[in-house]
Amino acid sequence: MTLLSLQGVTRRFGGLVAVDAIDLEVADGGVTAVIGPNGAGKTTLFSLISGFQTPNAGRIIFAGEDITARPPEALAAAGLVRTFQLVKLFQNLSVLENVEVGCHLHTAGGVFSALLRSPGTRRAERETEAQSREILSFVGLDAVADAEASALAYGQQRLLEIARALAARPRLLLLDEPAAGLSADESRRLTVAIRAIAERGTTVLLIEHDMKLVMNAADTVVVLDFGRKIAEGPPAMVRENPAVIAAYLGAAHA
Amino acid sequence: MMKLPAIICRDPLRRGIALIPWLVACGVLAYAFVAGGYLVTVMSIAMIYAIFVIGLNVFMGFTGQVSFGHNAFAALSGYASAVLTATYSWDPIPAFAVGLGLALLVALAVGWPTLRLKGHYLAMATLAIGLIVYEITIEWQSVTQGYMGISGISPLRIGSYEVDSDRGKLFVLLVIVAFSAFAAGRLRASRFGRALAATAGSEDAARALGIDVARYKLVAFLVSVAYAALAGSLFVHVVEFVSPEVFGLNMVVLAFTMLYVGGIGTLGGPILGAVIVSLLPEIFRGFKDYQDLFYGSGLILLLIYAPKGLAALGDMIRSRGKA
């Protein structure tokens, strides 16, 4: 079954066509990786899917619904949650609170419930905390739960962003270069975490430059170049594709 | 919960320094009660400002937004209380309810369109509304009596019990400040408060997690306006007089000073800031012609040596020790 489907999605910036009539199907379950040289349109594609930009043409269908041009908060509520290439943690909050913010969609209560703080509200708060600690231990951050988010090492900050996104219980998790800036060891652990997320039933769509991670984590690889899709298939097949080799190494090597 | 005891055991010096501003503030308030006189009035005004700044902190500290015109909402509610009780002989509480409703309606009209836009549109709009309301209080003489102001406003009254002694007023204000701070603390430590903090931390990340940041900014704005309205009404009943200057632009300047000196984003900062900043002119009064110079220098020193505010004094000592 198809979870996410892009039909002729196009985004232009002035004369530049960043994303050019892309068709893409992401199956429900598993890990799909989008790769491509710098400037291939990967980040723009992610912004379009997650609602931070709107396409000039084309449609985006998620779980059978047309979600084209819906704002990010509406998409998150529909089950589509993203992380950012440049980590955007809530530096002013603790590690635990960052994940608790991620639980926002699955909890209730505004000003009045905060002021009254009834037994029901307290119970919900305790549940939120317990769930958040569980997610933190899933990504291996339970030991630093009470630290300030800004005090974390870079690799831990990346993991916290993923933990926070998981707390929103997405059906589709979009990871924008999750391994950027990670050490080889951290990147290996991230690969394991991404597989574990997929096995827990969350579909993962990621952009990545780290080929080792892509080859080990992804079930399907989509290759973009100059805003267009040039290849799609299982990692082993894509690796041998002449068009892909040409895009990465130049035509002479194909 | 793990962190707190560790700090207390390991670093008594830091804890002691963090307590100093609180000891000063509590000492001054206690002394005002015992000694009475002029200091009681100064502290009463300080407590009214504390309520105003606690509210401002919800919008600026918790949510990371800016408003230059919160004085307008204190003015709307203050004048509603003044006119309805002095001219139309209403009871203070229903008069306040009307003032609060008026302030919230105007805040909704200003905040709804501007908070949907990215950027500092609300800050500009609030600056404008502050100036507009100020002009109205001067020019609409048939109701506000212009520069003359309205006098003979009834003191605070709860049912048939009237609070007319200075000490009694200060006591009532202290209770209201305690409730205000308590309410702000509960707001911060909730799902609502976390959504505000997320908005302050990164709007993009907050939206990606499903938080409707435009809506939360608006609600935070309305909450802080409610505090401003409460402060405005309390002012006219405590001083029993109101004129346009009371809620002028100087109110914004003073409130900002209190917020930053006390510690923006902290829970205790607004109260500390209100007490200490209200005290400074009294301390420097003896310098006569030079008092503004000393007042200004005092503020600059505070901001250099306690950049995160008096409420965060303990944190600063620790980071200094590390560096």
**Length of chain A measured in residues:** 254
| Cβ–Cβ contact A146 with B under 8 A | yes
Taking chain A, what is the end-to-end CA distance rounded to the nearest angstrom? Answer: 34
pLDDT at B3: 39
Q: Residue B20: what pLDDT? A: 85
Measure A229 CA to nearest chain B CA, in Å.
26
- Is residue A72 less than 8 Å (CB to CB) from chain B? yes
Provide ipTM, 2 decimals.
0.91
Low-confidence winner among A74-83, A230-239, B152-161 (lowest mean pLDDT): B152-161
Chain A: residue whose CA lies nearest to B192 = A110
What average pLDDT score do residues A185-206 get?
A: 93
B205 with A90: Cβ contact below 8 A: yes
Contact status of A104 with chain B (Cβ, < 8 Å): yes
- A104 contacts in B (CB within 8 Å)? 191, 194-195, 198, 209-211
pLDDT score of A65: 92
CB contact under 8 A, A101 and B212: no
What's the predicted TM-score (pTM) here?
A: 0.90
With contacts defined as CB-CB under 8 Å, which chain A residues touch B219? 110-111
What pLDDT shows up at residue B323?
Answer: 34
Residue B289's pLDDT is 82
- DSSP symbols for B18-61: HHHHHHHHHHHHHHHHHH-THHHHHHHHHHHHHHHHHHHHIIII
Residue numbers in A near B218 (CB within 8 A): none
- Please state, in angstroms and rounded to a whole number, the distance separating the CA atoms of residues B244 and B248: 6
Q: Which residues of A are less than 8 Å from B104 in CB distance?
A: none
pLDDT at B265: 92
> Can you list the residues of chain B whose pLDDT is less than 70?
1-11, 314-323
What pLDDT does A190 receive? 92
pLDDT one-digit tens code per residue, B207-263? 999 999 999 999 999 999 999 999 999 999 999 899 999 998 889 999 999 999 999
**What average pLDDT does the segment A199-221 reach?**
92
Instruction: Find the closest chain B residue to A81 by CA distance.
Output: B208
Mutate which of A91, A98, A111, A160 to test chain B, going by most B C-beta atoms within 10 A? A111
Nearest CA in chain A to B190: A114
Q: Do B219 and A110 touch (CB under 8 A)?
A: yes
For an interface test with B, the pick among A73, A128, A129 (most B C-beta atoms closer than 10 Å) comes out as: A73
Q: Cβ–Cβ of A110/B200 closer than 8 Å?
A: no
- Predicted pLDDT at B4: 40
Q: Return d(Cα A72, Cα B206) in angstroms, integer.
A: 9
CB B315 within 8 A of CB B308: yes
* A chain contacts of residue B63, beta-carbon cutoff 8 Å: none
- More reliable by pLDDT, A241 or A66: A66
Instruction: Spell out where chain B has E strands.
Output: 150-151, 156-158, 161-163, 241-242
Measured in angstroms, the CA of A130 and the nearest CA of chain B are apart by: 14
CA A23 to chain B, closest CA, distance in angstroms equals: 24
Q: What is the pLDDT of residue B10?
A: 52
pLDDT digits (tens, 9 = 90+) for A133-176: 999 999 999 999 999 999 999 989 999 999 999 999 999 999 99
Question: Which pLDDT does position A124 carry in this prediction?
Answer: 93
Residue with tokens 């923006």: B264
Q: Tell me the shortest Cα–Cα distance from B209 to chain A, in angstroms.
A: 6
Helices (H), B263-322: 269-284, 291-305, 313-322
The per-residue pLDDT for A28 is 92
DSSP assignment, residue B234? Answer: H
Min Cα–Cα distance to chain A from B234, Å: 22
Q: Is residue A82 predicted with pLDDT exceeding 60?
A: yes
Set out the domains of chain A in order of their start, with CATH numbers: 2-253 (3.40.50.300)
The answer to whether the Cβ–Cβ distance between A93 and B201 falls below 8 Å is yes
| pLDDT tens string A60-72 | 999 999 999 899 9
For A50, the closest of B1, B195, B208 (CB atoms) is: B208
Q: What is the C-alpha to C-alpha distance for residues A40 and B163, in angstroms, rounded to an integer?
A: 72
A120-129: average pLDDT: 94
Cα A108 to chain center, whole Å?
A: 25
Amino acid present at B52: F
Exposed, middle or buried, A252 (CB in 10 Å: 0-12/13-18/19+)? exposed
DSSP 8-state class, residue B86: I
